[in-house]
Amino acid sequence: MSIVMGVGKDAPIITNKSGGKQSAVNYRFDLIDTDAIFELTKILSEGANKYGEWNWKKINRQDHINHALIHLYAYMAGDTQDDHLGHAFCRIMFALGTEDNQ
């Protein structure tokens, strides 16, 4: 079972200027760029079709980081055959979501 810190019944309560009370928020999802998220989900869909859903969880963190770096260097070299920034973003997300002990 996973626990998201700062989310749940034990989260601290804050009161706004109008007296409204709610849980304190540690996360700013409203600042995520929507175009970047749509690009991420497009890449995730293509990868799921090609490799299978959740296949990325079977790959270790170091491999995800290496592939992210390959995409970044390809982008910096001027290669335009792929969305290298989008793929690097996706691989970094995978690295963050992968257990380090694989």
Total Cβ atoms within 10 A of residue 44 = 15
The DSSP H or E segment spanning 14 is strand 13-15
Paired residues of 63 in beta bridges:
none
Buried b (16+ CB within 10 A) or exposed e, 45-80: eebeeeeeeeebeebebeebbebbeebbebbeeeee
Cα gap 10→25, rounded to integer Å: 12
Q: Show pLDDT as tens, one digit a residue, over the chain (102 residues).
A: 678 888 888 899 999 999 999 999 989 999 999 999 999 999 999 999 999 999 999 999 999 999 999 999 999 999 999 999 999 999 999 999 997 755
Closest CA to 39 of 70, 77, 85, 75: 85
| pTM flag (> 0.75) | yes
